[in-house]
């Protein structure tokens, strides 16, 4: 029957998809070993979370499992070769963000943890933005080429856009789900025009704040050391370190293009568009393969 034939075809497509995805993951020996180790660690976290009844951690760990599939999916779907170094760092980034950061509470234990990840996030997404434009440059369906400067600029802007969208997501989660993704900061001073004196006309400087007392509707009184800044400084700090990471990669990408794909350091972080005979035009300045392939 036609219906059963369609189901058979869909099963074959799914089987082919997962088979090619597994082959894609196994293509790079070093990255594949890292992938297996992290998947095993995440599985241990899932089992332990179930035993402790922490089902929200199970959801976070399952999300991490799915996020680890993004690099091979990008390679398969967009015909790009992600260098071994960048692919391994992407795997480690997911593990550090979701497992160590969220489940292991490293964001609270180590003040630098969030800053480190946002810096690398800026670097990594600049790399993917760079590769995205490279795909357009080498595709017969898109007829334009950017100079090295504008290629680096697009990579930078792509990274910053992703960073801003992530901050939107954090803010939405804090407002709607009552989380605290935009971490609070205690400050000892601030300037404001919202105090009663000269409202809206004069900036009042509040300095040397020792404690702040807050009384809730249910009668609780909370005393804090200093004044609580609700997420603003954390957001600006995250965007700034994202900016730093994006600038670093953009400089690397600019030099890489100016040197026509030569440079061992840059080649470890820049995805290369592979394409196929029908879509990509061969160029003399294409860099050599970055991967170690296995059988």
Using DSSP's 3-state secondary structure scheme, residue 169 falls into helix
Contact indicator for 74, 43 with CB cutoff of 8 Å: no
76 or 126, higher pLDDT: 126
Measured in degrees and rounded to the nearest 5, phi and psi for residue 283 equal: -130, 150
What pLDDT shows up at residue 2?
Answer: 56
Q: What does the alpha-carbon distance between residue 127 and residue 113 come to, in Å, rounded to a whole number?
A: 21
pLDDT at site 274: 75
Model's pTM, two decimal places? 0.78
Please give the span between the terminal C-alpha atoms of the chain, in angstroms, as a whole number: 40
Q: Is the pLDDT at 291 greater than 70, yes or no? A: no
Q: Is 19 helix (H, G, I), strand (E, B) or coil?
A: helix
Range of weakest confidence among 9-18, 66-75, 103-112: 9-18
What would the mean pLDDT of 37-60 be, rounded to a whole number?
A: 93
Q: In angstroms, rounded to a whole number, what is the distance separating the alpha carbons of residues 30 and 72?
A: 14
Average pLDDT over residues 37-58: 94
Angle (nearest 5°) at CA 254 between 244 and 140: 120
What is d(CA 234, CA 239) in angstroms, rounded to the nearest whole number? Answer: 9
Q: Where are the domains of the chain?
A: 2-180+232-273, 185-229
Q: Which of 44, 179, 39 is nearest to 102 (CA)?
A: 179
Residue 119 in this model has a pLDDT that exceeds 60: yes
User: For residues 242 and 229, what is the distance between their CA atoms, to the nearest angstrom?
Assistant: 21
Question: Confidence class of residue 120 from pLDDT cuts 50, 70 and 90?
Answer: very high
Q: Phi-psi bin for 198: left (phi > 0), alpha (psi -120 to 50), beta?
A: left
CB-based burial, 6-28: b 16+ in 10 Å, e otherwise: eeeeeeeeeeeeeeebeebbbbb
Lowest mean pLDDT, pick from 170-179, 193-202, 224-233? 193-202
The 3-state secondary structure of 95-123, one letter per residue? HHHHHHHHHCCHHHHCCHHHHHHHHHHHH
Give the count of beta carbons closer than 10 Å to the beta carbon of residue 119: 20
Q: Do the Cβ atoms of 74 and 80 come closer than 8 Å?
A: yes
């Amino acid at each position: 029957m036609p219906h059963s034939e369609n189901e058979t075809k869909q099963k074959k497509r799914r089987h082919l998809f997962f088979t090619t995805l597994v082959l894609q993951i196994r293509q790079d020996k070093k990255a594949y070993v890292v992938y297996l180790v992290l998947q095993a660690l995440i599985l241990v976290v899932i089992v332990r979370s179930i035993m402790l009844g922490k089902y929200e951690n199970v959801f976070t760990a399952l999300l991490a499992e799915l996020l680890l599939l993004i690099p091979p999916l990008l390679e398969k779907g967009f015909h790009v070769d992600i260098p071994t170094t960048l692919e391994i760092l992407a795997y480690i980034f997911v593990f550090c963000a979701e497992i160590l950061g969220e489940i292991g509470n490293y964001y609270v234990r180590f003040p630098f943890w969030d800053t480190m990840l946002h810096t690398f996030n800026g670097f990594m997404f600049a790399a993917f933005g760079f590769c995205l434009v490279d795909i357009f440059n080498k595709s017969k369906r898109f007829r334009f080429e950017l100079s090295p400067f504008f290629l680096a600029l697009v990579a930078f802007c792509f990274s910053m856009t992703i960073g801003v969208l992530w901050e939107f997501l954090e803010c939405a989660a804090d407002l709607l789900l009552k989380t605290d993704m935009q971490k609070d900061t205690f400050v000892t001073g601030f300037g404001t025009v919202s105090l009663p004196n000269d409202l809206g006309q004069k900036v009042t400087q509040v300095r040397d704040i020792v404690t702040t007392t807050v009384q809730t509707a249910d009668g609780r009184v909370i005393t804090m050391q200093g004044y609580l800044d609700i997420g603003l400084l954390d957001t600006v700090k995250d965007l700034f370190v994202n900016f730093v990471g994006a600038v670093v990669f953009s400089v690397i990408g600019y030099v890489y293009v100016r040197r026509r794909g030569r440079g061992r350091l840059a080649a470890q972080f820049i995805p290369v568009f592979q394409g196929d005979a029908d879509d990509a035009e061969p160029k003399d300045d294409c860099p050599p393969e970055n991967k170690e392939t296995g059988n």
